Amino acid sequence: MLPIILRPHRNMELCREFGPRFCDDELYTCSCAMTELQGGSDVENIDFMHGKTIKTSARLEGGDWVINGHKIWPSSSNADLFGVACSTNPGSSNEEDFAFIYVPADTPGVIIGAPYQKAGMAADYNGDVWFDDVKVPKKYRTHGPGDDAKYFREILSYGAACGAAFGLGPMKNTYEIVKKWASERFVAGRPLKEHSINAAVLAEIAIDIEASSAMLHMVARQLDCPDIYGIMPWDKAMVARARAVSLFVTDAAVHATGRAMELMGSYGYARQYDLEKHWRDVKMTTLWMGSRQLDLIEVARYWYDIETL
Ligand SMILES: Cc1cc2nc3c(=O)[nH]c(=O)nc-3n(C[C@H](O)[C@H](O)[C@H](O)COP(=O)(O)OP(=O)(O)OC[C@H]3O[C@@H](n4cnc5c(N)ncnc54)[C@H](O)[C@@H]3O)c2cc1C
């Protein structure tokens, strides 16, 4: 919903249309459908691909958009409302042809597939979503030619920062689990943590958490306060910073959960101690949003003015 709710580009007409649905007594959810069969990264790599690979098409017919396409993997694929990355001219790398259009899930022609089986993130329903001659009003396009692509970058910067938060939360709980374990479990006559080799591992986990918290808070503040920092959420500078924090924190989360599991031995691998859930979940945080290579590319591209990647 970011493209329509944030200043200075708030779309009040669509806020009035959709806002009340989220404020009702019934849960109303939304989902951002970008990824397609031919790849997720190429859609998210908008600075290089400019929407060229998006096959989901949107054509104007009278007062309606008619949408056809197949999205895969969107988080909350069973949502009530989709924000759909479309092209008004599939194959075009002109960003004016990129369209971000809202589609209520109960519109005729929207078909939602069964949830995928995954290693982790079980609470997230990910599946196929097909759009078969789906008609929605013309006003459901977030802004219009050029601006849809511009503000789509905001989804990337917020998405990357949120991905980092998805890594940091499990890391903090990992700390709690491993602290208890290392205090209560004895090896060679002493608690685990009282062996210097294990204390060093515990220190690494704490450092991962402290560094990740500091970096994520800084980037979140920059996202929140463009007036102070002079960087708009859709600027390349912000996308690169958010991707940097995403990669840093999610790598740290994979590192911390892995080390904690090694300290806990086979107990860390057992369901009942909760650690293995974090270990499975955090791996995902390094994979979505174009995965770590796209994070690295966007960071290098921005800070080093790379032109061919
Ligand atoms: C739990 C979960 C939740 C998700 N939620 C959503 C969602 O809400 N909405 C949505 O649309 N999608 C969602 N996805 C999909 C996810 O965003 C994509 O899987 C992701 O973008 C990667 O796309 P892909 O899997 O098609 O891999 P590909 O795009 O095929 O990438 C394959 C590999 O190529 C690397 N790569 C990418 N770009 C380049 C490049 N330029 N040069 C070299 N290497 C490159 C990647 O880093 C990766 O290692 C979700 C996926 C999961 C598992």
Q: How far apart are CA 27 and CA 155, in angstroms?
A: 22
Distance 78 CA to ligand 1 centre (A): 20
Residue in 287, 306, 307, 308 to alter for ligand 1 test, most ligand atoms within 8 A of Cβ: 287
Decide: 277 and 123 in contact? Cβ < 8 Å: no
Decide: 212 and 252 in contact? Cβ < 8 Å: yes
Tell the residue nearest (CA) to atom 11 of ligand 1.
34
Decide: 72 and 36 in contact? Cβ < 8 Å: yes
Q: Domains of the chain by range and CATH?
A: 2-142 (2.40.110.10), 149-304 (1.20.140.10)
Closest ligand 1 atom, residue 291 Cα:
47
Tens of pLDDT, residue by residue, the chain (309 residues): 999 999 899 999 999 999 999 999 999 999 999 999 999 999 999 999 999 999 999 999 999 999 999 999 999 999 999 999 999 999 999 999 999 999 999 999 999 999 999 999 999 999 999 999 999 999 999 999 999 999 999 999 999 999 999 999 999 999 999 999 999 999 999 999 999 999 999 999 999 999 999 999 999 999 999 999 999 999 999 999 999 999 999 999 999 999 999 999 999 999 999 999 999 999 999 999 888 899 999 999 999 999 898
Q: What is the pLDDT of residue 74?
A: 97
145 burial via Cβ count (<10 Å: 0-12, 13-18, 19+) = middle
Q: How far apart are CA 189 and CA 153, in angstroms?
A: 55
Closest ligand 1 atom, residue 44 Cα:
21
Distance 54 CA to ligand 1 centre (A): 14
Closest ligand 1 atom, residue 292 Cα:
47
Q: What is the pLDDT of residue 290?
A: 86
Q: How far apart are CA 12 and CA 243, in angstroms?
A: 29
Decide: 136 and 67 in contact? Cβ < 8 Å: yes
Whether omega for the bond prior to residue 8 falls within 30 degrees of 0, making it cis, is yes
Q: How far apart are CA 3 and CA 137, in angstroms?
A: 17
Amino acid sitting at position 207 = I
Distance 38 CA to ligand 1 centre (A): 10
Tell the residue nearest (CA) to atom 40 of ligand 1.
294
Angle at 20 between CA 18 and CA 23, to 5 degrees: 120
Q: What is the pLDDT of residue 291?
A: 86
Decide: 232 and 148 in contact? Cβ < 8 Å: no
Decide: 164 and 289 in contact? Cβ < 8 Å: no
Residue in 30, 156, 288 to alter for ligand 1 test, most ligand atoms within 8 A of Cβ: 288
Model pTM?
0.94
**SS3 for 97?**
helix
Residue with tokens 């079980």: 122
Q: How far apart are CA 261 and CA 131, in angstroms?
A: 43
Tell the residue nearest (CA) to atom 45 of ligand 1.
293
* Residue ranges around ligand 1 (CB below 6 Å): 32-35, 39-41, 44-45, 73-75, 121, 124, 126, 284, 287-294, 297
